[in-house]
Amino acid sequence: MKIVCVADHFMKEEFYRDCMAKFPGIELVSVPYFGSDSRNEMRAMADRIEKVGSRSYPAPAELYAAIKDADILMVHLCPVPRELLEAAPNLKYILTNRGGLENIDLEAAHELGIPVLYNPAHNGNAVAELTICLMICETRNVARAHYALKKGEWRESYPNVGRVFELRNKTIGLVGFGTIGRLVSEKLQPFNVRILATDPNVSPDDPDLAKWNVSLVDPDTLFSESDIVSVHARTLTKERIIGKHELDLMKPTATFINTARAYLVDYDYLAEVLREQRITGAALEVFPHEPLGLDSPFVNLDNVTLTNHRGGDTVNCYSDSPEYLIRAMLELIENGKRPKFYIE
């Protein structure tokens, strides 16, 4: 089988070549490059791709030539429009090293009978680790203390004075119990916390609920009972699922964390709630407009920890993904085992 892989600033050519060296039955034909060499420019491109889709940018010209005889196309951020798929008469699989599918014309792939294997777990561990980090950093004032000390200030007073608690015995509410929500649950086990989750796509008999001592509850229960609410959902239709109703249910001592997607949350109302200290604090990794500007209300709030959408940006999450996808594809071909993340 012949494969064409598209590299970019994050998914490097060497990751593909190291992976394919383990699979002698797969011939790596070409590794075209998509996008910019600049991290900042590539971040902006990724944001546009998520909003605009498969026609946000043209695919590399050399990809059209390379893909003519390919059986497999593997991409990361590179757009995959209809005309690219129509230029590949032998294409049998599209493999994408992302959880998001915005860069792929799924309708065209379906019409042409080309299944798509994707990998929302590729950065799952990285995001889950950052989530635990933010829970501690925000509730224990790590970033605020660091900033004060860098300015020569030994700071003793914070917005959450008298409300600084350990995670132990607290209730953590997870909005979304997919790949990352489950990883967060696993990593919370040593902290001796109560874990709640709400997810319309999860059955009460899902074995991972019992495995990680998670109670599946309705959204109102989660928001009203949690000491920390952490968002791990994603919706293809990009609808808002957290607004005034949900935020007003939170306890004054509670903390809100979002490492998922900004469109899920009414950020304007969240800023108001934080400004009025109706909840204790928040930690935000994602924003409606990125890069975050100085006009953002969160920049001047003292009860919020901000990170710049780097939760999934580790070497491992990129370098390990191609092998995962190839093995999932081979399991399908050789054993008929349908991959977990698979669209026909």
- Return d(Cα 86, Cα 120) in angstroms, integer: 26
Q: Is the separation of the CB atoms in 227 and 233 below 8 Å?
A: no
Residue 251 β-bridge partners? none
Catalytic positions are 261, 290, 309
- Return d(Cα 264, Cα 3) in angstroms, integer: 36
Q: Is the separation of the CB atoms in 116 and 104 below 8 Å?
A: yes
What are the angstrom distances between the C-alpha of 87 and each of 1, 71, 83?
Answer: 17, 12, 6
Please count the other Cβ atoms lying within 10 Å of the Cβ belonging to residue 107: 10
Q: Is the separation of the CB atoms in 255 and 228 below 8 Å?
A: yes
Please count the other Cβ atoms lying within 10 Å of the Cβ belonging to residue 120: 16
Q: Is the separation of the CB atoms in 58 and 78 below 8 Å?
A: no
What is the total residue count of the chain? 344
DSSP state of 190: G
3 state DSSP class of 268: helix
Question: What is the β-pairing status of strands 228-231 and 255-258?
Answer: parallel
Q: Which amino acid is at 92?
A: K
Task: Kindly list the strands in the beta sheet with 116-118, ordered across the sheet, starting from the edge strand earlier in the chain.
Answer: 27-30, 2-5, 72-75, 93-96, 116-118, 342-343
Query: By C-alpha distance, which of 286, 290, 279, 222 is closest to 255?
Result: 279
